[in-house]
Structure 1
Amino acid sequence: MDVTDVVVIGAGQAGLSASYFLQRRGVDHVVLDANSGAGGAWLHRWPSLRMRTVHGIHELPGMPFEQPSPESRANEAIPSYFARYEQLFDLPVVRPVNVTSVVDDGALLKVETSGGVWAARGLINATGTWRRPFWPYYPGQETFAGRQLHTADYSGPADFVGQRVVVVGGGASATQLLMEIAPVAAATRWVTRTEPVWREGPFSEDYGRWVVGMVEERVRAGLIPRSVVSVTGLALNDETRAAREAGVLERWPMFSSVTPAGVLWGSGERFDADVILWATGFRHDLEHLAPLHLRGAGGGIQVDGTRVVSDPRIHLVGYGPSASTVGANRAGRAAVRELVGYLGLVRAG
């Protein structure tokens, strides 16, 4: 069993930020990452996602992010930046390692993984959401004769040529994929639970901080966090404005059931479909923390800043208010400052 002061789980934006600040304070730590290479969730973005449609990218601490070409693939450009960052600061990332459980072992936390066992005085969890796609259920869903897939399975518009497609979801991924699919599909229909809210203007750092503050209230109360995207609304730019005018982004309310041939509304309206694409988001990847019994009556984990209220040895970054590139950096710094002070590893400052 390897023993270290702090284990960081996940090497996305939040995990790398935490590692950077731990290293600056001289804290012995390791970063365990399930991916085979650098990039975090960006490695798994669909191949057709280009940098020109990516919103709110914020550089990691200590290293500028030089904007690549607008037509660069996001799942290549950002992982490349992360890889250079890990190398520049010689961060102690170990991969691929899948964390299966974290157990309270008295004075230490025992982190059990596919690559062995680590024991640590403190834990920074930065696992994000990408491995937990959320599939809602609607009556008759299992009877659908066509194809159903989630955003996590999307590889590009070529899979939808000549097909009738229902896109379900009110987030940015739903609109981006719909705008890619519509030109090649026979017909599309966009369905959301609530009326979309459109926002004009740039996603500035100040605006990002305001959004983070809006999400923070729920996690302080131990409730399941809202996504940051649910607060920001949808970006109204030249591309989305044109798609709305063309009828591509005409929103329909949520259907009441799924039939073998498509979807059905309570009014009797139906839409025959070959494919249902569930752009319904993700849930936080926290199953490995289940042995610690951190969830409360509200369904979420009560967090003050990044600190788990019931166990101050554990910090969650990339959770709730820090689930954004701006929030992840701030959370990494804050988690390290508070954790090392609590554990007495170094002088907190």
Structure 2
Amino acid sequence: MSERFTTVVIGGGQAGLAMGYHLARLNRPFVILDEHAAAGDSWRARWDSLRLFTPARYDALPGSRFPAPQWSFPSREEFADYLGRYGEEFGLPVRHNVRVTGLRHDSHAFVIDAGGRRFEADNVVVASGWDRKPRIPAFAGQLSPAIRQLTAGSYRSPRDLAPGPVLVVGAGNSGADIALELASTRTTYLSGRHPGEIPWRVDATAARPLTLAVFFAFSHILTLGTPAGRKARPRVLSHSGSLVRVKNRDLVRAGVVRVARTEGTKDGLPLLAGGRTLEVANVIWCTGFTPDLDWIHLPVMGADGQPAQDRGVATSQPGLYFLGATFQHSLASSMVHGVGRDAEFIAGRIAAAAAPAAAAGSSTAAPDAVRPEGSTAPQ
């Protein structure tokens, strides 16, 4: 047996919840499927000391306000708890412990496999997160087995490391955060190109007008609709974004040692640009992530291995949408405060596509052709 829904949202994190909010506002029936036991669990699996790199005023989902001082930086637990309350506040229909393992189309509807369960849908929104698979260079396998290797996704605290120096590879926001934490207990090297930074404290009272202007630019100037945004997008996709909360001077003061790009290995040790090797006991790869979309069995991937989409709308599969991708429409698209606008756009497209079908159905469908949302249908 299978359950039939008008729209299935896959993923119950901030993107999926924002999607649900806007679908509910338009009175569109839907369900959210989430693999975790509770809302926010994906955040609870991140490193213990993680704090969002954006102030709380930018950490709220649509229709809500983050319950903390606007210029504070919430912890992972605070944000995870917020997601749980958000879903409850708006009565969003989230089904937990449902891990989607396959998505296909049988010429009548989308078919979603989730272990031993099956769902059918007219529309599917993939909002399962773009930071699923760590992007680790192939030469990592040539490091000495004596070197402990972790990723930004598997690191939890300094207790995870072997005694001795650590090399953090990747100097973006995650790499900077982790390097800053580790520098107090061991020699810490940070490898990679400095991605640039907002040169002031984003929470400093005197600088708040500048911070407001920067985040406005993230959402409204650096978009696919502007020349500046189209120029910036390739760099953002190929490199990490600028440092927001942690500054380079923080790293220097903490004793973090900046080194060149890690290019390979030599005698089992990390090899830097210029030929230097580092004798370290640990390497943490903060080199980004790629989406895990191998479960999508539809011809929707582009030559780059990413979904072919226009502002979240799949270009070759009507009814399929993607939400939460880096620079989906703007630099803010993958940030908490930016995903809501993309969700609103997609919800509008779903509603617009349904309107002609509803008009036709109201005049041609027999009464028993209308099936209640969530009812079962023969497999």
- The two structures have a TM-score, normalised by structure 1, of 0.85
Residue of structure 1 equivalent to 2:370: none
Residue of structure 1 equivalent to 2:372: none
Change (3 A) 1:208 1:138: same
Find the partner of 2:244 among 235, 240, 246.
235
Residue of structure 2 equivalent to 1:197: 196
Q: How many Å separate the matches in 1 of 2:321 and 2:314? A: 6
| Contact 2:183–2:254 (Cα < 8 Å) also in 1 | no
Secondary structure at the residue paired with 2:47?
Answer: coil
Residue of structure 1 equivalent to 2:317: 311
Change (3 A) 1:139 1:317: closer
Deviations 1:69-102 (A, max 9, x none): 9998722101111111111111110011110111
Find the partner of 2:262 among 254, 259, 271.
254
Residue of structure 2 equivalent to 1:275: 282
Q: How many Å separate the matches in 2 of 1:319 and 1:87? A: 25
Instruction: Confirm or deny that 1:285 pairs with 2:296.
Output: no
Q: How many Å separate the matches in 2 of 1:99 and 1:157? A: 33
Secondary structure at the residue paired with 2:260?
Answer: strand
Residue of structure 2 equivalent to 1:167: 168
Residue of structure 1 equivalent to 2:302: 296
Deviations 1:131-171 (A, max 9, x none): 32221222762544221111111111233474111110121
Change (3 A) 1:140 1:336: closer
Residue of structure 1 equivalent to 2:150: 149
**Number of corresponding residues:** 337
| Contact 1:308–1:316 (Cα < 8 Å) also in 2 | yes
> Identity over the aligned pairs, expressed in percent?
28
| Contact 1:19–1:91 (Cα < 8 Å) also in 2 | yes
Q: How many Å separate the matches in 1 of 2:272 and 2:69? A: 44
Instruction: Confirm or deny that 1:122 pairs with 2:129.
Output: no
Secondary structure at the residue paired with 1:213?
Answer: coil
Residue of structure 1 equivalent to 2:252: 244
Structure 2 gaps of 5+ residues are 203-210, 328-332, 360-379
| Contact 2:195–2:239 (Cα < 8 Å) also in 1 | no
Secondary structure at the residue paired with 1:235?
Answer: coil
Change (3 A) 1:281 1:258: farther
Q: How many Å separate the matches in 1 of 2:309 and 2:253? A: 43
Change (3 A) 1:198 1:10: same
Amino acid at match of 1:312: P
Deviations 1:275-294 (A, max 9, x none): 111111111232221x1121
Residue of structure 2 equivalent to 1:62: 63
Q: How many Å separate the matches in 2 of 1:181 and 1:314? A: 42
Structure 1 gaps of 5+ residues are none
Deviations 1:44-77 (A, max 9, x none): 22111135x5557431111211116999872210
Change (3 A) 1:236 1:258: farther
Amino acid at match of 2:24: Q
| Contact 1:110–1:117 (Cα < 8 Å) also in 2 | yes
Change (3 A) 1:70 1:21: closer
Aligned-residue RMSD, C-alpha = 3.1
Change (3 A) 1:80 1:212: farther
